[in-house]
Structures are given as C-alpha cells and as structure tokens.
Amino acid sequence: MDKIRIRGGRPLQGSIQIGGAKNAALPLMTACLLTDEPLVLKNLPFLVDITTLSHLLVQHGVSVTMPGAESADEPGHVLELRAKRIVSTTAPYDLVRRMRASVLVLGPLVARIGQARVSLPGGCAIGTRPVDLHIKALEALGATIAIEKGYIHATAPKGLKGGEIVFPTVSVGATENALMAAALAEGESVIVNAAREPEIGDLARCLNSMGARIEGAGSERITVTGVPRLHGATHSVIPDRIETGTYMMAAAIAGGELELVGASYDMVAAAARALEGTGVAVERLPAGIKVSRRANRLKGIDIATAPFPGFPTDLQAQFMALMATADGDSIITETIFENRFMHVPELNRMGADINVQGASASIRGVAKLNGAPVMATDLRASVSLVLAGLAAEGETLVNRVYHLDRGYERLEAKLAACGAAIERVAGEG
Ligand code: UD1
C-alpha cells in the first residue's frame, strides 16, 4: 500500500486550486435516481468515494459517462448520470459498508420506485453512526420500514405523501435523504431542525433545477412542495470547504502564505475566525482566500465542533495538529461524533502532549514535533498527520494512504507545488 513521506520544516508559498466538494457531490450523484433524464454534474472531484458511489449507482441501473474533459476555465470532472430504468432497488452490504454515504440512495429509490432495500452501514471508525433519523424521515412521509437481516427495507407502494419531519438532532445525511424523498412526495413537506450545511443548499439548488419546489434550504426549516416528476439538469458542485480548511491549516502549521483559488470564505468562516484567534491572517480575495502566518509561534485557543455554521467536525483533527505546536494550552471539544480522537495517540508519538477526557482533548503546545512513522483509521485523522509532518523535524511516513485518497485529490502534488517536501512512495502491498 502507498505511503506519504514528508520532510518537515519548509514553509509553504503559492496557490492551490480547491476542488468540488466531495460531501456535496455524493448526494448530488444519488439525486440522479429521481429522474429518467440525464443529470450532468460539473466540478466533481476525482476521488475514491466518487468511484465507489458510481459503482453502486451502476448496479441500480444508472449509466455513468464522462461527456467532456476538464478545461482550464472549468476545472474539475464532469459526469453524466442517467437512471433511465432502475434495475435493482437493493444497495448491497458489500458496497454500503465501504462508504456510509451509500445510504443516500434510500430516499430517492423509495420516492421514485416505491421501494428500496439498503444495507445498514454497520460500525465505522468514528463511532456507531446510526441511521435512525434517515428512517424516521421516510416514515414521516408514509413509507413502511422493516429491518430484515441487516437491511433497511422501505416500501411505499402508493408513493410517498408530504408530512412533517422533525429531527431531534441535526443530521446532514438524513436532511439530504428527506429532501430527495419529499421532492417527489404528494403534497407539502416541512423539515424542522434541518441541517444548514452548504451541501444542503447545493443539493436543493440542483433539485430545484430538476423541477423540484424547495424553499428555505440553508435555514432550520425547509418546505418542499412535491411534484409528480423531475427532469434532467446540469449542475456545478460547490467548492470543498473541508479541503479549503485543511489547506488553510497547512499554511498555518508550516508557515508561509497560500492562496486558495476557488475557495468560498463564507463556507469556512468559523475555521477562519479560529485561525485568526491563533494569530494567522485570513483574507478574502475576489476568487478565493489568502492565508498567511508571519508569527513564529501561534497562540493556543479553545474550540468546540458544532453543526454549520459552527466549527466543522471534519476540521477538528487538523486543528488539533495545529494546536499541538502552538504556544500555550488549548481544549478541543468534539460534539458531533463520539470516538473521533484516533489521531491523538499518533500525534503524541510525534511528540505532541494531548490528553483526552470524554469528548474533550487538552493540548499542551510543544515547541516542536518529531517525524515518525504513523497511521490513522479515518480520512480527516490521516490528513492531520500529514499536517503535523509538515511542521515536524525530520521524516514522517504516513501509512494507509487509501484514507487520504477517499477525500483529497492529489494532496501531495498540491502541497509539493507550494514548496513542501512531500511525496508518495509506492508500497509493497
Ligand atoms: C456528514 C459528512 C461528514 C461529516 C458529518 C457531520 C457526508 C458524506 N459526510 O456525515 O463528513 O463529518 O456530516 O458534519 O456529507 N446521527 C444519528 N442518527 C442518524 C444520522 C446521524 O444519530 O440517523 C448522528 C451521528 O451519529 C452524528 C450526528 O448525528 O453524531 C451527525 O451526523 P450526520 O450529520 O448525519 O453525518 P453524516 O451525514 O453521516
């Protein structure tokens, strides 16, 4: 298996093109199941998760083609997805266990065909992550749900009916499933305590351009007036705010100055404020964001993760790597996922001083980290080790690179082009 080798201590200088958002792309791709006409998605990132979802969609009967190459004025990949006929309503365990987001086929399949059998995703590295809210949303729209042999079996033979969906906690995925299901339900649906992440707004915009009638996406209350059918559309995916935030933190930990081209400041405002609190300068540019660190050491500050517009859980591990090298103490509290501190022992092996108690980690900043062979069990934890490696003295070897490939396109090439000593080393297997 490939590894990433980093020799730390070099500041970053240059510009990085931010790709389309993985977490927007995945629900957008499943939206193709709602219509028999083609859905063309532009500015898609080229990532393992996108390929995994393509495989799942193909086995449902979707044809996936690449109508054009990426061009200089329109970066990113283009995919045409057409679900002319659904040939299978089953999402098998083997594909769903590889990527939780596969559960996003549930809403569209029930809405279009009146039934779906989707495997329960099972355990995952960052906690139990149940799907009860996805199920409740569909029940509120009149679907009958049975759990049989590890599968969610949802049926609505006469179609879904509009209803009120009240989420007890904010869930991005369940809001997305609810939106897609309600788009084709008969009558009006209201989603209360909806997730407000930018990816929800992007999905709603795409669905509306397919003929849906959705209002209020981006707020806590979304109203959907169901339509009998949706049609094809062309939609461009929003920039990846987690990739953006990760490179903001790369500039902060390594020092220097990075311009993040195509990034949206509003989507990363909480992370920008946190970075400014540590002494990093974050500037809004007409077509992106500029991040620079001039100070020698950053200041330790406390943060807690929260649903959007709060500090994203997907940037928690990266921010911890940064705080590990800051001047002073900090506390990072994870409020979204249990068990999302797997990066802590690895950072400590690099010389960090971090203690976890329940949902909080106390970090005593150290003057320097030391390179070491490390590995992590999830995507964001892995990238936090890459960031730590950029600041560490000596060589860091990050194992299990497949996690990084799920969410970061050409990470090592993008960082190397800005002066980092980073390379991919082919492994023996
Ligand atoms: C999405 C993102 C993920 C991010 C997360 C939180 C995608 C593909 N993934 O994941 O990168 O970390 O949002 O911003 O967009 N929950 C339940 N029952 C459910 C569903 C969720 O209890 O049915 C809980 C989860 O365990 C978690 C919390 O709700 O504690 C938030 O999870 P959710 O927003 O659903 O995350 P995902 O959509 O899976």
pLDDT in tens, 105-129: 999 999 999 999 999 986 555 555 6
Q: What is the pLDDT of residue 428?
A: 64
Q: Is 106 in the pocket of ligand 1 (CB under 6 A)?
A: no
| Buried/exposed code over 232-261 (b: 16+ C-beta within 10 A; e: otherwise) | bbebbbbbbbbbbbbbbbbbbbbbbbbbbe
**Catalytic site residues?**
124
Is 0.75 topped by the overall pTM? yes
Residue 412 zone, left/alpha/beta (φ > 0; ψ -120 to 50; rest): alpha
> Which of 59-63, 88-92, 402-406 has the weakest average pLDDT?
402-406
> Which of 40-54, 60-74, 120-134, 175-189 has the weakest average pLDDT?
120-134
> Which range has highest mean pLDDT (125-139, 189-203, 333-347)?
189-203
Best residue among 105, 167, 172, 220 to mutate for probing ligand 1's pocket (most ligand atoms within 8 Å of CB) is 172
User: Hey, is 282 helix, strand or coil?
Assistant: strand
Mean pLDDT, residues 249-278: 98
- Nearest CA-CA partner of 406 in 42, 2, 45: 45
Q: What is the pLDDT of residue 353?
A: 98
> Which of 29-38, 86-95, 242-251, 369-378 has the weakest average pLDDT?
369-378
Q: Whose CA is nearest to atom 3 of ligand 1?
A: 314
- Whole-number Å distance between alpha carbons of 299 and 322: 10
- Predicted confidence band of residue 427 (pLDDT cuts 50, 70, 90): confident
Task: Decide if pLDDT at 333 tops 80.
Answer: yes
Q: What is the pLDDT of residue 40?
A: 97
Q: Is 345 in the pocket of ligand 1 (CB under 6 A)?
A: no
Q: Whose CA is nearest to atom 2 of ligand 1?
A: 23
- Whole-number Å distance between alpha carbons of 391 and 386: 9
Q: Whose CA is nearest to atom 8 of ligand 1?
A: 23
Task: Decide if pLDDT at 292 tops 60.
Answer: yes
Q: Is 174 in the pocket of ligand 1 (CB under 6 A)?
A: yes
Task: Decide if pLDDT at 309 tops 90.
Answer: yes
Q: Is 134 in the pocket of ligand 1 (CB under 6 A)?
A: yes
Q: What is the pLDDT of residue 124?
A: 54
The residue written with tokens 């994870």 in the block is: 334
Give the model confidence (pLDDT) of 334-389 as tens digits: 999 988 999 999 999 999 999 999 999 999 999 999 999 998 778 889 999 999 99
Task: Decide if pLDDT at 295 tops 60.
Answer: yes
Q: What is the pLDDT of residue 60?
A: 97
Q: Is 126 in the pocket of ligand 1 (CB under 6 A)?
A: no
Q: Which atom of ligand 1 is nearest to the CA of 314?
A: 12
Q: What is the pLDDT of residue 377?
A: 79
> Which range has highest mean pLDDT (58-72, 155-169, 285-299)?
155-169
Mean pLDDT over each residue of the chain, to the nearest integer: 94
User: Hey, is 82 helix, strand or coil?
Assistant: strand
Mean pLDDT, residues 231-249: 98
Q: How far is the CA of 171 from the centre of ligand 1 (A)?
A: 5
Q: Is 177 in the pocket of ligand 1 (CB under 6 A)?
A: no
Q: Which atom of ligand 1 is nearest to the CA of 134?
A: 23
Q: What is the pLDDT of residue 72?
A: 58
